[in-house]
Amino acid sequence: MNFVVLSTSRGTVFESTLNRISDGSLSAKCLGLITDRADRGCIEKARTANLPVKIVPIQKDEPREDYDKRLDQAILDLVGSQSSKLIAHSFIIACQGWMRILSPWFVRKWRNRILNVHPSLLPNHKGAHAHELVLKSGDNISGMTVHMVEESVDTGKILLQKSCPVRQDDTEETLKARVQELEKEWYPRVLEMIERGEIRLPE
């Protein structure tokens, strides 16, 4: 299995995934990282692992689909000359801290190939402020969801969920840290389970 990582974050889940490859737990091949800015923390993780990095900068007032067409080209550049062969055989776009909503055009092109992790137990608390919503709701359990990406935000097929307690003295930051530990542990494991056939992606 081959995959490309999209990230606009510090790269904590990305680093955990690379560690699983390094220790032999995950035999999939990461073809590289795509991000939007040269100062993103995830870039350092990619370069430490000697992986290629593509920076696709956001242009002012650029329509989302136009940006995603440049993103699509960056993916094809990382896949290289064997793109049709590799993409036909178990290829995944792994969103690991990718904070941009993907356009319907992009999702249709890569349907059933895009994985995302969301910091709540979907379908509860969709969107960008999940931890705030969890705390305001009074829920005593939160967690994370690894799911397929569809055109509507945070609605794709759920592949795996893991939970953690919400404590009375939690802030958004303390809850975020606890959920991130789950993400670091279980996103790479989902890739392992897909590779072994224990999780089957939609056709």
Answer yes or no: 118 catalytic.
Answer: yes
Please give the pLDDT value at position 87. 66
Q: Are 96 and 187 a contacting pair, CB within 8 Å?
A: yes
Question: Which residue segments constitute the domains of the chain, with CATH numbers given?
Answer: 2-196 (3.40.50.170)
Reading phi first (left if > 0) and then psi (alpha if -120 to 50, else beta), residue 49 is in alpha
Q: Are 17 and 5 a contacting pair, CB within 8 Å?
A: yes
Q: Are 11 and 96 a contacting pair, CB within 8 Å?
A: yes
Q: How far apart are CA 72 and CA 4, in angstroms?
A: 11
Please give the pLDDT value at position 86. 63
pLDDT in tens, the chain (203 residues): 999 999 999 999 999 999 999 999 999 999 999 999 999 999 999 999 999 999 999 999 999 999 999 999 999 999 986 666 666 667 999 999 999 999 999 999 999 999 999 999 999 999 999 999 999 999 999 999 999 999 999 999 999 999 999 999 999 999 999 999 999 999 999 999 999 999 998 87
Active-site pick, 118, 125, 131, 147? 118
pTM for the structure as a whole? 0.94
